[in-house]
Each structure stands twice: as C-alpha cells, then as structure tokens.
Amino acid sequence: MARTLDITAFTCPMTWVRTKLELERMAPGEALEVRCREGEALENVPRSAAAAGHAVEVQGTTIRIVRA
Amino acid sequence: MNSRRGFLRDLAAAAAQVGSAAREATAEPVAPASFPLSDAELDRYGRQLALPEWGLAQQAALREARVLVVGTGALGSPVALYLAGAGVGRLGILDDDAVELSNLHRQLLHFTPDVGVPKAASAAAKLRFLNPDIVIEPYQVRLEPANAGALVEGQDLVVDCSDAFATRYAVNAACCAARVPLVEAGVSGFTGLVMSVRPGETACYRCAFPAEPADAPASAQPGASAGSGRRPASWVRSRRSRRCACSAGWRARCSTASCRSTCSAPRSCACGRRGGRGAPTAARCDAARAAQTGPGGHGVRGH
C-alpha cells in the first residue's frame, strides 16, 4: 500500500514543500499518493514533482508520485 | 535612558512571548514524532525548504550548527540577520562597541533608541525577536589573541565581520589552529572582499595578506574596514591589488603542479602550512609575488 499525504489544508508553496519533504523520507521507487485540492496546488505540485525528476500521475485530485 | 531600557525590555518580552507561543503551537505536532522538523519550523523555513538544493537534512543540520559572527556592524548585521533567519541553531555574536548615531545608516541591527547600548546586547535583542527558536549568544568582548581560541573552539563556522586587521589576524590564527572554517569579509567604501578559509585545504587570511598595510586606519577607528568612511587612496589601492590574492585566486593558481613545486609557505603563516612540494598556498612564494606585481598578474586568470 502506498504512502498517503493530505495537503488539502495547505496553500502553495507549502503544498509542494510538504510533498517534497515526505518524498525525501522515502526510498527510491516508493510511491506516494497525495490528496490535493482543485486549483493551483493540483497544477503546481505535479509540475514541481516532475521537475524534481519523479514519475507523476494525476487521477482526479490524487497525485501519485513515484520517488526517483 | 528610561525609554531606551523600556524599549529593550519590551522587545525582549515580546520575543519571549513569541517564543512561548511558538512552543505551545508545536506541543502537538501533526507530523509523526520521527519527522525531523516541527510544523512551526516547516512554516518558518518553508520557502528555503522549497529550494531543490535544500531539504530536511540540510535544515536539521543548520539547526545543530554553531556559528560565530565577529562584529555586528555594517557587515555583521546582515550576516547575523540572515543566519538567524535561516535557522542556525546557535548563533554567537561578538562586539565590544556601543551603538552610535553614525552607525545606524548602515548597521541594520541597531535602531535609534539603541544609541549608547552595547552592540552585542542590541543585536541579540533583535535576533531573538527575529527567530525565538534559536539560541543567541552575545559576547560583549573584544576578540584578541588571548581569548580567540576559546571563542572559536567548538564553532562550525566563524564569519569575521570585524573592523581591524589585528582582530582579523587573531580570528584567522585561532580558526587555523582549531581547524574551524572561516569566512573573512571586509568593506571599504565601494570596495569589498570575501574570502573563505578551510584550514588545511585553502589559503588562510595571513597567506593572502601577510602584513597589515602600513597606512591602514587605526584599529580603534569605527568602521576601519567596514563602512563608508573616507580611506587614504594609497591604502585603497593596496587593498585592491591585494584583493587578487583571494583564496579562489590562490587556489586556482596553486592547484597547478608548477606552483606546488615553487611554493614555500611562510613558516609564520597561521594556517600552519609547510613549504615545499604539496604546499597549496603561499602569498610570499616567488611565483606568487611575481604574479602579484608583474604585468597582468592578477592571480585569477581564467576565472
């Protein structure tokens, strides 16, 4: 089962900061499912994650990130 | 006098209040206990944690770090502000001067009600206000060869923002002896210098500046090597020419085999480097001196 992270309470850029720090604590290849609100965060977090080299997949308001 | 005391008291009380509020707010962290930073820290340092080069490990390491800033004047003020803001866990600030009205236009840690107050105390009050989660250690003393060793011991980094060559040489010698990394910084009018020293690996301050310029301002003169007072033209010129001997320049020059074989580091040099093969730095070596005085010899060719 993948790790989950709820960032619905945060606004940018703390959404990405929380996601990034969670990814830092994971092993390469591990998956993280991020629950996100519609809007800015749903655009920014996948983009930042991809820019950091992780594999990213968005399904609705869930962002699935596999740590690089 | 009363208003000044009152101002500092209010400032200290406010800082303490902010500190206790922050501690209460983090009493029940949302993140798991193993998470290295509290929610308050995540909020405070979020913008730097967002940087690709920065993360949990770096922030936690910074919190464990001890840094000493020598001097809280024109350079020391912003240096200490940024280090405190960034979250250096234990920040020492050293200054034996008192705040003067003429300091305020450039020494950003000191405010008008602080005139007459020791700079170490004035700086500590503002830094605690800025970041109540770190420890500020004010030292109201003059750094001298006799106390430099004890002050430098145990620091992870020393930033020298002092205003006198004698102080710089004392800081440099103590850092070299204790193998503490040092950042040397100085400003004179519109000219500035920054030099990082990793004892045993790079040139030290004494390597780059073997002796104090003969016409340097008196050490007791405020702003002697930081600030925007007038300087003798010859001194500025000599500093400019010596500026080429910064550690980057010497490292670049001295990393070549030809330099290594011709260097003979001065034995008096504080960094303790011996001459001969393998000595990476020596301001007095013939090759270096020729480069310094010869045509186009700026020591930083290709950089």
pLDDT for the residue numbered B262: 32
Interface test with B, best of A25, A45, A48 (most B CBs within 10 A): A25
Determine whether the interchain pair B37/A21 forms a contact, defined as Cβ–Cβ distance below 8 Å: yes
Highest-confidence range of B3-12, B37-46, B134-143, by mean pLDDT?
B134-143
Task: Choose among A17, A24, A25: nearest Cβ to B50.
Answer: A17
pLDDT for the residue numbered B145: 97
CA nearest to B253, candidates B215, B199, B202 = B202
How many angstroms separate the first and last alpha carbons of chain A? 18
For residue A12, the chain B residues in CB contact (below 8 A) are none
Residues of A with CB under 8 A from a CB of B: 13-14, 16-18, 20-21, 24-25, 52
More confident residue, B141 or A1: B141
Rounded CA-CA distance A53/A44 in Å is: 14
Determine whether the interchain pair B50/A21 forms a contact, defined as Cβ–Cβ distance below 8 Å: no
3.40.1350.10, 3.90.850.10, 2.30.130.10, 3.30.110.40: CATH of A3-66: 3.30.110.40
CA nearest to B87, candidates B53, B47, B60, B51 = B60
Q: Domain residues of chain A, as ranges?
A: 3-66
Determine whether the interchain pair B50/A13 forms a contact, defined as Cβ–Cβ distance below 8 Å: yes
Cis check for the bond before A13: say yes or no (omega within 30 of 0): yes
Determine whether the interchain pair A21/B42 forms a contact, defined as Cβ–Cβ distance below 8 Å: yes
For residue A25, the chain B residues in CB contact (below 8 A) are 35, 56
Question: How many CB pairs below 8 A link A and B?
Answer: 26
Determine whether the interchain pair B56/A25 forms a contact, defined as Cβ–Cβ distance below 8 Å: yes
CA nearest to B191, candidates B235, B248, B247 = B235
Rounded CA-CA distance B103/B109 in Å is: 10
Mean pLDDT in residue range B117-146: 98
CA nearest to B253, candidates B201, B299, B289, B221 = B299
pLDDT for the residue numbered B269: 64
Write B129-132 long-range contacts (CB < 8 A, 24+): B129/B11, B129/B14, B129/B15, B129/B18, B130/B81, B130/B84, B130/B85, B131/B44, B131/B84, B131/B85, B131/B87, B132/B15, B132/B16, B132/B18, B132/B19, B132/B22
> Can you tell me whether residue B158 is helix, strand or coil?
strand
For residue A52, the chain B residues in CB contact (below 8 A) are 52
pLDDT, tens only, A25-66: 999 999 999 999 999 999 999 999 999 999 999 999 999 999
Rounded CA-CA distance B66/B159 in Å is: 11
pLDDT, tens only, B154-174: 999 999 999 999 999 999 999
For residue B52, the chain A residues in CB contact (below 8 A) are 52
∠ CA B194-B200-B204, nearest 5°, is 30
Rounded CA-CA distance A37/B201 in Å is: 51
Q: What's the maximum distance between 2 C-alpha atoms anywhere in chain B?
A: 67
pLDDT for the residue numbered A46: 97
Radius of gyration of chain B from its Cα atoms, rounded to whole angstroms: 21
Determine whether the interchain pair A14/B57 forms a contact, defined as Cβ–Cβ distance below 8 Å: no
CA nearest to A29, candidates A53, A48, A13 = A53
pLDDT for the residue numbered A17: 95
pLDDT, tens only, B190-233: 888 899 999 989 999 998 888 888 776 654 344 444 433 333 33
Rounded CA-CA distance B33/B216 in Å is: 55
- List, as one string, the DSSP characters of B119-154: HHHHHHHHHHHH-TTSEEEEE-S---HHHHHHHHTT
Output the pTM of the full model. Answer: 0.71
pLDDT for the residue numbered A23: 96
∠ CA B222-B227-B230, nearest 5°, is 80
More confident residue, B60 or B234: B60
Q: Which residues contact B33 (CB under 8 A, 6 or more apart)?
A: none
- For A41, the token pair is 């965060």
pLDDT for the residue numbered B189: 84
Interface test with B, best of A3, A14, A21 (most B CBs within 10 A): A21
Rounded to two decimals, the ipTM of the complex is: 0.87
For residue B39, the chain A residues in CB contact (below 8 A) are none
Yes or no: say if B244 and B299 are a contact pair by the CB < 8 Å rule: yes
Within 10 angstroms of residue B16's Cβ, the number of other Cβ atoms is 13
For residue A24, the chain B residues in CB contact (below 8 A) are 55-57
pLDDT for the residue numbered B209: 86
pLDDT for the residue numbered B70: 98
Determine whether the interchain pair B46/A52 forms a contact, defined as Cβ–Cβ distance below 8 Å: no
Determine whether the interchain pair B43/A14 forms a contact, defined as Cβ–Cβ distance below 8 Å: yes
Determine whether the interchain pair A17/B52 forms a contact, defined as Cβ–Cβ distance below 8 Å: no
For residue A13, the chain B residues in CB contact (below 8 A) are 46-47, 50
> For residue B76, with 0-12 CB atoms within 10 Å meaning exposed, 13-18 middle and 19 or more buried, which class applies?
buried
**Minimal-distance CA residue of chain A relative to B59:** A21
pLDDT for the residue numbered B115: 98
Task: Choose among A21, A25, A52: nearest Cβ to B49.
Answer: A21
